[in-house]
């Protein structure tokens, strides 16, 4: 079949559609127009609790830092955590503004490039958070014990124990990537691994980032050719 046949069929369909399709205005007026929340507005709501959580973390860590300015052993882990939370908060605000300002009536390549860029940024952030999570555990333990229970983790656990935890955290990163790469592909077809878990595996394995970057480059080719 060539494009002329395709056009002929398309025109035939067009004529038939004139007669047979009808807009259900009752349904439109009730749920659709009244609750016109689109995928993007839902996504922007999803970003909000994350932003709030990071804001609370920044505030709490800020006051912890102020209280322990002269105690380097508490100050250093708290500053590291605060910088992480601040970076996530800034990334979240940036993402929220970008999502809210997407104008779908702009040309397709322009909008898809923006959405593609947003996806790349979001996947990169998630991957970074997932991969650094095992490293965060030790400073979090030190700061949380001191800040919430006024307990000194350095006295409760030996320095060697804390250092070993950090080392294990470092070792877990390449191991997690290796396991995710080995399992993510197989889990695609598993009826038990769906949604969030599958997405986490794909994020760690780097598949989601590859897909997002692939789409961005296909847009660039489409624009240039």
Partner 1 sequence: MAKPSRQERFLSLLDEHKKILYKVSASYCRNLADRQDLVQEITAQLWRSFDRYDSSYSFSTWMYRIALNVAISFYRSESRRTRNTVPAGESILEIADDRGAVEPDDHLVLHDLIGQLDELDRALVILFLDGNRYDTIAEILGISETNVGTKLNRIKQKLRRDAARTV
Residues lying near partner 1 in the complex (CB under 8 A) are found at 1-3, 6-7, 9-10, 12-14, 16-25, 27-29, 31-33, 35-42, 103-112, 115, 199, 215, 218-219, 222-223, 225
Q: Whole-number minimum distance, CB 193 to partner 1, in Å?
A: 13
Distance CA 162, CA 10 (A): 68
Residue placing its CB nearer to partner 1 in the complex, 14 or 160: 14
Residue placing its CB nearer to partner 1 in the complex, 8 or 158: 8
Residue placing its CB nearer to partner 1 in the complex, 23 or 160: 23
Q: Whole-number minimum distance, CB 176 to partner 1, in Å?
A: 21
Sequence-separated (6 or more) residues with CB below 8 Å from residue 180: 201, 202, 204, 205
Residue placing its CB nearer to partner 1 in the complex, 178 or 222: 222
Residue placing its CB nearer to partner 1 in the complex, 39 or 69: 39
Sequence-separated (6 or more) residues with CB below 8 Å from residue 109: 219, 222, 223
Q: Whole-number minimum distance, CB 50 to partner 1, in Å?
A: 16
Kindly compute the dihedral angle of the four CA atoms of residues 145, 147, 149, 150, in this order, to the nearest 10 degrees.
100
Let me know the angle formed at the C-alpha of 9 by 7 and 15, rounded to the nearest 5 degrees: 100
Q: Whole-number minimum distance, CB 184 to partner 1, in Å?
A: 13
Distance CA 195, CA 202 (A): 11
Q: Whole-number minimum distance, CB 93 to partner 1, in Å?
A: 22
Distance CA 198, CA 215 (A): 20
Residues in the chain: 225
């Amino acid at each position: 079949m060539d494009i002329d046949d395709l056009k002929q069929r398309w025109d035939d369909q067009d004529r038939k559609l004139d007669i047979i399709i009808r807009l259900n205005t009752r349904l439109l007026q009730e749920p659709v127009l009244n609750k016109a929340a689109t995928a993007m507005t839902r996504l922007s709501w999803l970003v909000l609790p994350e932003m709030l959580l990071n804001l609370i973390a920044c505030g709490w860590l800020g006051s912890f830092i102020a209280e322990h300015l002269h105690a380097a052993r508490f100050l250093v882990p708290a500053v590291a955590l605060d910088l992480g939370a601040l970076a996530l908060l800034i990334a979240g605000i940036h993402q929220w503004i970008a999502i809210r300002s997407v104008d779908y009536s702009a040309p397709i390549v322009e909008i898809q490039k923006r959405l593609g860029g947003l996806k790349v940024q979001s996947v990169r952030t998630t991957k970074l958070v997932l991969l650094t999570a095992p490293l965060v555990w030790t400073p979090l333990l030190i700061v949380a014990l001191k800040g919430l229970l006024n307990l000194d983790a350095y006295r409760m656990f030996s320095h060697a124990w804390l250092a070993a935890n950090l080392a294990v955290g470092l070792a877990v990163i390449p191991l997690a990537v290796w396991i995710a790469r080995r399992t993510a592909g197989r889990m695609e077809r598993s009826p038990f691994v769906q949604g969030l878990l599958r997405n986490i595996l794909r994020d760690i394995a780097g598949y989601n980032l590859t897909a997002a970057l692939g789409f961005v480059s296909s847009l660039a080719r489409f624009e240039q050719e």
